[in-house]
Structure 1
């Protein structure tokens, strides 16, 4: 286990905006930072980071927390892994109380797969640098490709020995389980033997955005025509090809900084470009580009420049991915290299300044590039030209932004020498067809939804009321629980003539004490189990610690509880006194005015108790209609009358009756 002093140091050192900035492009929005949600496919940013409070909130999914919880949510780290990641990022030495072997035993299945993959990567690197076969074959190959020692180490390149089970034997000897070697695809298990998937190949570890080893790509170096030139890890619990971009770990900061991403085809393209000084480059690793891969880039930048090989066949095959990029609302440029060159070979022979100049001068807008490429086939053939124009309009129709669509229609009209009216008409026909299909699907889904909605609307409405009230109590506790303010206790007494006399006693209480005593008076528990657990915990925290620190408290919560607390902290401007004061037409200079706090606490508690009384009265009324009521009608009416008297008494504390939650 990691020692507590290391954990505390990590929390004190890590900056949430720096950690999340490695995964999401953040832009200033007042005192906060804003970006696209990394947890949902959204077009408008609703992901907020607060550098002041050191928390984040994703309003599209409801998730939230601190730097550690972000890594646990986004990278599926365990708590210790998130701490290790941050310790490495901030150069903090980790002190542990038990050996790493015990950590291996305690790791769950998914974590075990990560551990096995990390071990394999280190093993392949060891073979490459330390063993004769690795140096003679693997290292020589990388040197021939022009990679420096620094580059080879930076990308963790390695070599898998050309023997059937070298990795498998080594891993089993180090107490790694065959089960996880098989699940990661490193070992192929047969009926009577097991062997290494990547034997005799140079190895390219595939890393997540945070640097975790997800899988491998292996290139064979012999001329064996029966074996695939490149072999990737199979799909697994930790490796999904459609969600991964090779090089994203090394490119993410440069992509965000330069606000552009170069997209290439292969592993060596990425490495050679990176070595040449172009670091904002990633690859789809030889697979067809997917929407999830594009969204990964979209978190860091809205701009993609696709780099193509010089051969025409490759251009036509690869250009199909552009429509997908356009659908995601990205800005696309395309750059091709001279015949016979690809990003790898061109970067290898071109000095940095010339390479940057070439990319800048030869990157064309997608519509210009597509027209120039496909017009070579159309030439003077009117039918082919018509097909080309339709193909370009289809691409334009994928763009979600209406203004951009219109600009591209105008550009297409100019390039192809055809009227804008015809192009707009064609675009409208496509949109109508898409709308018709969407409406048909919507109506089918709506029928199913109506059944569920009719059954649950009333229940949801009731839950929302009590949830809002209970959340208000938590908000006051979290934001103001440690404040000591003056409250009024109202007593009803009778004089010798039986006349009511209202007596007011002023008392000093910490806010958390006042809330606790008030709810305890009626033996009230919060209905929401998470809210109730937080309520009990917060009261205990205030009781034990005079100096309550919200951020420290948040750091030690489980994810479900942290999400609720983050929601309150990120929205404290919304939940603090402003809205309440505006509604009551009360004006103060400072939001922590003690008298106003006292009134806010009293009204919230009274409103909550009143709601519960109304709820009890409603349940009693239903008893009258029951076939076998628990009480007689007379008893029920007496109880309702008593509850109404109680409601009158408690609402005297705020000088009015409420009917909002009848």
Structure 2
């Protein structure tokens, strides 16, 4: 475990703009920065980074948080692993105790697989440099391809001997588990149960993630050994950490050059990338010999909008270029295509030319996609009218996937001139395809929604077999206070009328693992007829969330001064005001996590230097820290120029009026929601036929009515003095 002092040092040193910039291209907007979200597919930047608050958030998909949360989500790390990542970046020494055997076994599978891959990468490099076969065969081959020693070391190339189980034996000798060797794909089991190396007798190309972790390997058999080997290249299979469609070879080494030059070259294979790096062109990545995928395109799009596709000049290369064009266009990329001279690929061409000549050739021969595709297909179509019609349809289909209407219009005009066709016809054809695509997308969304509903319903039946089946339920109108259903209409419950405590996990899973201070632990006895789940869109939930937001942002701040019966003026913090006001009316937050946050705030309020915002944003439990970061994130923030030009009253300056109003709004809304829920429940025949249960609910209804009527009176009893 990492001590709190070290965590504080890491958080103080870590600059969120600096960290996020390693993975996302940011540009300043006012006092914040924006960029394309790295967590979902988008074409318009909605990912905001606030250097003053140390927070980031995507206002489209909602993901974000502080610098630790960003690394956790982006690199799929645990909280403490993310802290170690940041500590390493900022050269902060971490002192932690030795992990117990139980804790070692509890490490995530993903981390274990990365550890095994790192061992394998080092093993292959050691063989290349220190084994006689590695030097005689592996190094001779790489140098024969023209690779310099510094480039071989940079890309961490290695070699595996002809022994079919050398890696497996060495890994087991050093204590690595057989299961992890199999799950990474480094080894596989034979029929007799023994392990066999996947990459024996090959030159090894490690594949790195965006952050530099070894996620997979590619192995090329050498020419002298191809006699009994069918495949020239063998690649790691799909695993928990490796999905080929999401990885780009060389992205770790290219990302800074891509940002610097605002351009990315896309090639096909490992050696293409390495040779271009050696020639001085570093902003290059490879699709690893597979068809280009949308995930790979989005990864490039994080760093640049401009891409040049480089492929062989033969027929296969040309067809590969065409297949990837529509996908690139759909992602809003600005595409150029450059075909190398026939007989050359990016690797061989790079070995013949230096960076200046290579760049000059690309600038001279690259063309935009519309000219490339038109010239290529026109040559194939010749004078055949059917083929020409097919050509036009293919080009229009490519134009229709472009998301920007202005860019589409420009391409339609250019296409009209090249094909000598009326622009109006092309516009109509494009519009028809766009409308058809929208309709197909809508239908697919409806199908997915229906499948999800069925999945949720089946899961609910398995978890709560006592609930009525779909055949026994129906959609019922919502009845509020005073709006009883007519006798012929009997609403059927969407949720069980069992109090919310029945849905909650055991108390020990909600409260902290150990009691802090001398405050006795109190069981969470919250009861409500409002269902525990599915309230995010309800009015009371929004009011409750807003109160929690104020609690986290300003919890330790003095909200007001309250005059007691003795005439004393007592300062009231936001934490104290929220806690005492809710208790006065016997009301609590409905969400268990919100209750947990209030309980911890009360326990720590008197701690020296306590800051609610810092405490909850850096909370060791990811669920709490993530919620805190989301709640304190603002999409917009006034610039310093606006602030100077006009005095703006902040929330902190009006806590004396804001907190009481929010409390009253929340209490009224949650009481109204529970009253409505009780009315719906009383209309259920199962409840109506249970006199005792019916009486309990009617008594609860009466109590809530009394509470509701007292709220206005209590609001007028306090004398609040402005700070």
TM-score of Structure 1 vs Structure 2, range by shorter chain: 0.7 to 0.9
SS at match of 1:320: helix
**Aligned-pair CA distance for 1:524:** 3.4
Kindly tell me: are residues 162 and 477 of structure 1, through their superposed partners in 2, closer, same or farther at Cα, counting changes over 3 Å?
same
Q: Which position in structure 2 is the counterpart of 1:290?
A: 293
Q: For residue 568 of structure 1, what is the aligned residue in structure 2?
A: 631
Is 2:146 the counterpart of 1:83? no
Q: State the match for 1:558 in structure 2.
A: 621
CA contact (8 A) 2:184 2:239 kept: yes
Contact 1:104/1:112 (8 A) holds in 2? no
Asked if 1:591 corresponds to 2:665, the answer is no
Which of 562, 581, 589 aligns to 1:518? It is 581
Q: Does 1:218 align with 2:276?
A: no
Q: Deviation per CA, 1:562-614: give whole Å up to 9, x if none.
A: 22211222128799xxxxxxxxxxx98542665x3211122222333333444
* 2:398 is equivalent to residue 398 of structure 1: no
Task: Specify the alignment match of 1:600 in structure 2.
Answer: 658
Inter-CA distance 99–29: structure 2 relative to 1 (3 Å threshold): same
1:256-300 deviation digits (Å, cap 9, x = unpaired): 232221100000111111222211111010011111111111222
Q: What is the CA–CA distance in structure 1 between the aligned matches of 2:185 and 2:681, rounded to whole Å?
A: 63
Measured in 2, the distance between the counterparts of 1:236 and 1:447 equals 30
Is residue 258 of structure 1 aligned with residue 249 of structure 2?
no
Instruction: Describe the shift of the 1:105–1:589 C-alpha distance in structure 2 as closer, same or farther (beyond 3 A).
Output: closer
Q: How many residue pairs get matched?
A: 633
Aligned to 1:466: 540
Question: Quick check: 1:650 aligned with 2:700?
Answer: no
Shift of 1:231: 0.7
Once the two structures are TM-superposed, the CA of residue 168 in structure 1 deviates from its matched residue by 0.3
Q: Does 1:343 align with 2:406?
A: no
Contact between 1:208 and 1:214, CA under 8 Å: does it hold in 2?
A: yes
Between the aligned partners of 1:250 and 1:219, the Cα distance in structure 2 is: 21
Could you say if the C-alpha distance between residues 257 and 620 of structure 1 is closer, same or farther in structure 2, counting changes exceeding 3 Å?
Answer: same
Aligned-pair distance for 1:252?
A: 1.4
Separation in structure 2 between the aligned mates of residue 224 and residue 107 of structure 1, nearest angstrom: 43
Q: Distance in 2 between matches of 1:447 and 1:102?
A: 43
Partner of 1:579: none
The reply on whether 1:325 has 2:328 as its aligned counterpart is: yes
Alignment equivalent of 1:476, drawn from 517, 538, 550: 550
Q: CA RMSD in A?
A: 3.3
Q: What secondary structure does 1:533 align onto? A: helix
After the TM superposition, which residues 110-129 of structure 1 pair with which residues of structure 2 at under 5 Å, given as runs?
110-129=110-129
CA distance in 2, matches of 1:100, 1:342: 53
Structure-2 residue corresponding to 1:60: 60
Question: d(CA) in 1 for partners of 2:701 and 2:240?
Answer: 61
Contact 1:486 / 1:506 at 8 angstroms: preserved in 2?
Answer: no
Shift of 1:213: 1.2
After superposition, what is the alpha-carbon deviation per residue over 1:107-139, rounded to whole angstroms, capped at 9, x for unaligned?
A: 222221111111101100111111111111111
Deviation at 1:234, TM superposition (A): 0.7
Where do 1:301-312 residues align within 5 Å?
301-312=304-315
| C-alpha deviation, 1:23, in angstroms | 1.6
Alpha-carbon distance in 2 for matches of 1:183, 1:637? 58
8 Å CA contact retained: 1:62, 1:563:
no
Report 1:126-525 matches (<5 A). 126-192=126-192, 193-221=194-222, 222-224=225-227, 226-438=229-441, 441=444, 455=475, 464-488=538-562, 506-525=569-588
Instruction: From the superposition, tell whether residues 299 and 368 of structure 1 become closer, same or farther in structure 2 (CA, over 3 Å).
Output: same
Gapped runs of 5+ residues in structure 2? 458-472, 479-530, 639-645
Once the two structures are overlaid, the 10-residue window that deviates more, 637-646 or 452-461, is 452-461
Q: Distance in 1 between matches of 2:237 and 2:697?
A: 70
Local SS of the residue matching 1:598: helix
Deviations 1:313-344 (A, max 9, x none): 32123321111111112111111212222111
C-alpha separation between the residues in 1 aligned to 2:319 and 2:135?
A: 39
Structure-1 separation of matches of 2:227 and 2:584: 82
Decide which of 611, 624, 639 is 1:548's aligned counterpart: 611
Tell me the distance in 1 between the aligned counterparts of 2:699 and 2:594.
Answer: 34
Matches of 2:12 and 2:159, distance apart in 1:
40
CA deviation profile, 1:225-268 (whole Å, cap 9, x unmatched): 53310110011111111111111111112222322211000001
- Give the deviation of 1:388 after TM superposition: 2.1
* CA distance in 1 between partners of 2:535 and 2:183 (Å): 46
Cα distance in 2 between the residues matched to 1:636 and 1:378: 80
TM-score of the two chains, using structure 2 as the length reference = 0.80
Contact 2:552–2:616 under 8 Å retained in 1: no
| Distance (whole Å) between structure 2 residues aligned to residue 153 and residue 533 of structure 1 | 51
- Over 3 Å counting, the alpha-carbon distance change for 1:504 and 1:224 in structure 2 is farther
**What is the DSSP-based 3-state SS (H/G/I as helix, E as strand, rest coil) of the residue aligned with 1:237?**
coil
Residues 266 and 286 in structure 2, CA contact (< 8 A), matched pair in contact too:
yes
- C-alpha distance in 2, partners of 1:633/1:241? 57
Give the CA deviation at 1:440: 5.0
> Does the 8 Å CA contact 1:161/1:200 hold for their aligned counterparts?
yes
Whole-angstrom CA distance in 1 between matches of 2:132 and 2:101: 30
Secondary structure at the residue paired with 1:524? coil
Range with greater deviation from structure 2 (325-334 or 1-10): 1-10
> Is there any run of 5+ residues in structure 1 with no aligned partner, and where?
492-502, 576-586, 656-662
Instruction: Judge conservation of contact 1:490–1:653 (CA < 8 Å) in 2.
Output: no
Question: How far did 1:557 drift?
Answer: 3.7
Partners of 1:256 and 1:341 in 2: how far apart? 28
Superposed displacement of residue 486, structure 1: 3.2
Post-superposition offset of 1:436: 4.9
**Distance in 2 of aligned mates of 1:467 and 1:343:** 58
Residues 63-89 of structure 1: per-residue CA shift (max 9 Å, x gap):
222222112112211233323332333
Shift of 1:49: 1.1
- What is the rounded CA distance, in whole Å, between the counterparts of 1:41 and 1:131 in structure 2? 46
Relative to 1, partners in 2 of residues 1:314 and 1:532: Cα closer, same or farther, differing over 3 Å? Answer: same
Query: Which residue of 1 is the match for residue 518 of structure 2?
Result: none
Task: Check whether the contact 2:48–2:635 (CA below 8 A) recurs between aligned residues.
Answer: no
Pair 1:402–1:4, CA change in 2 (3 A) = same
- Partner SS, residue 543 of structure 1: coil
Greater shift in the superposed pair: 638-647 or 53-62: 638-647
CA distance 1:183–1:638, shift in 2 (3 Å): closer
